[in-house]
Amino acid sequence: MPDILCLGEPLLEFNHLGGADWRQGFGGDVSNVAVAAARQGASAGLLTRVGADRFGISLEEMLRAEGVDTTHVARDEDAPTGLYFVTHGEAGHEFAYRRKGSAASRMTPEDLPPDLSGTRILHLSGITQAISESARATADAAMDLARQSGARVSYDPNLRLALWPIEVARPTILRALASCDIALPGLDDARVLLEMDDPEDILRSIQDMGPAIVALTMGRDGVLLGADGEMHHVSSPTVDAVDATGAGDCFDGAFIARLVAGDTPLDAARYATQAAALSTLGYGAVGPIPNSQAVRDAMKRAEPRRPAGAT
């Protein structure tokens, strides 16, 4: 089993470049996380279903090319691979999905392996839980299996109210936050879920639920990290962003990859914040995700230079 196993739905992406031009790419939040982790040098895999169609085959080929373990990617002969479309405007990017009845939405607990021995982190999201009741049951069973196998659970709420009503989403997500080890919420989602505004209050509230590590991502305002009894603010590097699609997923993948590599939560957050910023420099969710060398080069350039002769 890979060190990091991600559970959820991969998607084919079509990104609008203007006029009649669209660029095909790949997406799906936990699939993006798996790719981001792999590009940082981590052992990562994906557990899902894809359609037995050209789109599903393309996704599998991409994942393997990225070094993501596809042992637990099953092909469903009776359902299609999900798609999504990204358009860009003054208010930012907007998404349209064609995923109802997708192969991944048909996942069941029977798709899980008998145990997760060897896996150090299981990662999943609120989208994994939202796409269907059977996927939700699969997510619950996977979290139980992770605990039984000694793996930590990493969880990003990734609230999408187009997929499920808040009356269902809120209690489901709060239960997952209470049972995970590493919580990776976005600030906007957390404000809706907790009906709170202040980032520090939100972070403390989630910490009180039980996760040992909470990284509250705040876009251009960086990350608020709670771990080891301390709270830290990690600033986001200033970049000329063109598309933030998947930046949060890039953060998640880079963050858990560095935790698996032995970094402290604070060092992992600094690294992942840089990775997420770099991922906004190109269009699409997967293509712009930086590798570890690009991240380290950017971090080195950002270090303050010592005066000549300083020791």
For 132, the 3-state DSSP assignment is: coil
State yes or no: is 249 an active-site residue.
yes
How is the beta sheet containing 121-125 ordered, strand by strand?
Answer: 73-76, 44-51, 4-7, 121-125, 152-156, 182-183, 213-217, 223-227, 230-234
d(CA 185, CA 171): 15
d(CA 225, CA 185): 11
DSSP 291: -
For 88, the 3-state DSSP assignment is: strand
Q: Which of 44, 47, 9, 26 is nearest to 245 (CA)?
A: 26
DSSP 107: -
Q: Which of 184, 214, 210, 179 is nearest to 200 (CA)?
A: 214
For 43, the 3-state DSSP assignment is: coil
In DSSP notation, 38-72 reads HHTT--EEEEEEEESSHHHHHHHHHHHHTT-B-TT
Structure tokens at 46: 């994906």
56: amino acid identity, one letter? G
From 3, 156, 243, 249, the catalytic residue: 249
Q: How far apart are the first and last CA of the chain?
A: 46
- Point out the residues that are catalytic: 249
